[in-house]
């Protein structure tokens, strides 16, 4: 464990003792807002300090096991205990670092996910459909809900563009690292010569805006068009112009929704997506202006960044931001993204902790 992290934990341990004393005061509940803040902080610190105490115990176990290595009668047991303790210390160190990461308030927000077909024509559109399926299965496994907002189907069953909303526990925090360029290498179903093609999609993950702090948009800057929905929906889609497309004229940003039979509800959903896209453009612009001073390991999340390659012939998935390669592509395409996302969270945590260390 890095000295900086250990020093941070020791300070937090002292703070936990202070909180214990404050919460034991019989008058603490007289100010309910203060009481809630104290109990929330106490719960957060208790979790990380509990892991720290376990880490210290396993560190002592490792030292003790090392002293037994010279004893012929205990050497085999000592080697086993040393291996177990070392693995536990590595796992605990990672868990502690994740808990020490400064919390991003956006992580708890619901998220819009936008997938767009890029280079590769029909194959790219088919890959967009594969990504939608992958994210849907991942979200289902995480207990998250997925709601389709808009879709632009391609001729062969893929998507030129698809937008969906994810709601539940920490949707943006779990999906935020998916923003960027996704490249696929495989033999397309339309390829008759068995040649491997490379195509790409772009993904943007945006937190659903907080209505209380969302950007203000002048209604005069909007053009609102209605049209007949396409895709699934039975006979209804041919009867009413329920789909809505909103264009923000100053920026040229467009959002649409055709999932609901109600034009009013589609308009409200499209407006949410539009505001999210405007805020996302502002965020990317801010991060780009800071890029000269700091280039993050995880990247800005700009869709021009190529973040991942899916190589089907080799069964390989590679995340280029953290040099992670896994030979379990089929499982990942079935929604098993946990390991990839976990490693990205660890990398981001290391970045943020390094910044805090420099500031200390």
Q: What is the pLDDT along the chain (360 residues), one digit of tens a residue?
A: 888 888 889 999 999 999 999 999 988 889 999 999 999 999 999 999 999 999 999 999 999 999 999 888 899 999 999 999 999 999 999 889 888 877 788 888 999 999 999 988 889 999 999 999 999 999 999 999 999 988 889 888 899 999 999 999 999 999 999 999 999 999 987 777 888 999 999 999 988 887 655 567 888 888 988 887 665 443 344 445 778 888 998 888 888 888 777 888 888 888 888 888 888 787 777 666 544 444 454 555 555 678 999 999 999 999 999 999 999 999 999 999 999 998 998 888 877 877 777 766
Going by C-alpha positions, the residue among 172, 156, 109, 164 that lies closest to residue 136 is: 164
Q: Torsions phi, psi of 215, nearest 5?
A: -65, 145
Q: Identify the CATH number of the domain in which residue 203 sits.
A: 3.30.70.1660
**201 and 305 belong to one structural domain:** yes
Report the alpha-carbon distance of residue 183 to residue 16 in Å, rounded.
Answer: 47
CB atoms within 10 A of CB 344: 21
Asked if 89 and 129 sit in the same domain, the reply is no
Q: Which of 67, 84, 100 is the last residue of a domain?
A: 100
Instruction: Check whether residue 208 and residue 309 sit in a common domain.
Output: yes
CB 201 within 8 A of CB 117: yes
Strand pairing report for 145-153 and 111-117: unpaired
What pLDDT shows up at residue 160?
93
pLDDT at 303: 56
Closest alpha carbon to 178 in 295, 312, 305, 327? 305
Structural domain contains residue 294: no
Is the residue at 30 inside a domain?
yes
- In this structure, the answer to whether residues 121 and 196 fall within a common structural domain is yes
Of 59, 85, 100, the one marking the end of a domain is 100
In a domain, 293, yes or no: no
In terms of domains, do 332 and 255 share one? no
Quote the tokens at residue 243.
Answer: 């789909």
Total domains present in the chain: 3
Residue 302: predicted pLDDT: 55
**C-alpha span between 13 and 18 (Å, rounded):** 9
Q: What is the pTM of this model?
A: 0.70
Q: By residue range, what is the domain housing residue 9?
A: 3-100
Q: Both tokens of residue 148?
A: 């389709």
Residue 12 lies in a domain: yes
200 in the same domain as 145: yes
Q: Residue for token digits 């490792």? A: 62
* Residue showing tokens 């560190």: 59
Pair (184, 230) in one structural domain: no
Q: Assess contact for 150 and 162: CB atoms under 8 A.
A: yes
Q: Is the same domain home to 234 and 156?
A: no
Can you point out the beta strands (E) in the chain? 111-117, 145-153, 159-167, 180-186, 197-207, 222-227, 243-248, 253-257, 306-311, 316-319, 324-326
Same domain, 187 and 41: no
- Does any domain span residue 188? yes
Same structural domain for residues 279 and 312? no
Per the domain annotation, does 295 fall within a domain? no
Q: Which of 47, 49, 59, 51 shows the shortest CA–CA distance to 89?
A: 59
Q: Which of 61, 78, 100 is the last residue of a domain?
A: 100
At residue 125, the pLDDT reads: 94
Burial 276-315 (b: 16+ CB within 10 A, else e): bbbbbeebbeebeeeeeeeebebbbbbbebebbbbbeeee
Q: What is the pLDDT of residue 264?
A: 82
Do 169 and 76 lie in one domain? The reply is no
Asked whether residue 82 is domain-assigned, the answer is yes
Residue 163 counted as domain residue: yes
Q: Are residues 323 and 194 in the same domain?
A: yes
Identify whether the C-beta of residue 38 lies closer than 8 Å to the C-beta of residue 130: no
Helix (H, G, I), strand (E, B) or coil at 66: helix
3-state class of 276 per DSSP?
A: helix
CATH code where residue 256 lies: 3.30.160.20
The reported pLDDT for the residue numbered 179 is: 92
């Amino acid at each position: 464990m890095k000295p900086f992290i250990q020093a941070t934990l020791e300070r937090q341990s002292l703070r936990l003792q202070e909180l214990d004393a404050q919460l034991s005061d019989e008058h603490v509940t007289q100010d309910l807002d203060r009481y809630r803040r104290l109990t929330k902080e106490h719960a957060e610190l208790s979790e990380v300090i509990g892991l720290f105490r376990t880490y210290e115990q396993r560190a002592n176990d490792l030292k003790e096991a090392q002293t037994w290595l010279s004893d012929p009668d205990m050497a085999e047991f000592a080697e086993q205990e040393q291996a177990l303790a070392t693995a536990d210390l590595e796992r605990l160190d990672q868990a502690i670092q994740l808990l020490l990461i400064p919390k991003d308030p956006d992580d708890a927000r619901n998220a819009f996910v936008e997938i767009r077909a890029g280079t590769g024509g029909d194959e790219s559109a088919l890959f967009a459909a594969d990504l939608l399926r992958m994210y849907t299965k991942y979200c289902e496994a995480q207990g998250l809900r997925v709601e389709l907002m808009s879709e632009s189907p391609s001729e062969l069953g893929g998507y030129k563009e698809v937008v969906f909303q994810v709601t539940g526990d920490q949707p943006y925090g779990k999906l935020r690292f998916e923003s960027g360029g996704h490249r696929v290498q495989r033999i397309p179903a339309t390829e008759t010569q068995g040649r491997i093609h490379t195509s790409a999609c772009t993904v943007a993950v945006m937190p659903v805006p907080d209505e209380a702090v969302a950007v203000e948009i002048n209604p005069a800057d909007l053009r609102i068009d209605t049209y007949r929905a396409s895709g699934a929906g039975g006979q209804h889609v041919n009867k009413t112009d329920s789909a809505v497309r909103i264009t923000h004229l100053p920026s040229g940003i467009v959002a649409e929704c055709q999932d609901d039979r109600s034009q009013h509800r589609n308009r409200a959903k499209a407006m949410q997506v539009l505001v999210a896209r405007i805020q996302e453009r502002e965020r990317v612009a801010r991060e780009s202006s800071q890029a000269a001073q700091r280039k993050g390991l995880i990247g800005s999340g700009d869709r021009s960044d190529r973040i991942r390659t899916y190589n089907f012939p080799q069964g390989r998935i590679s995340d280029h931001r953290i040099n992670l390669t896994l030979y379990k592509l089929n499982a990942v395409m079935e929604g098993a993204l946990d390991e990839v996302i976990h490693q990205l969270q660890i990398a981001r945590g290391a970045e943020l902790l390094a910044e805090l260390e420099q500031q200390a």
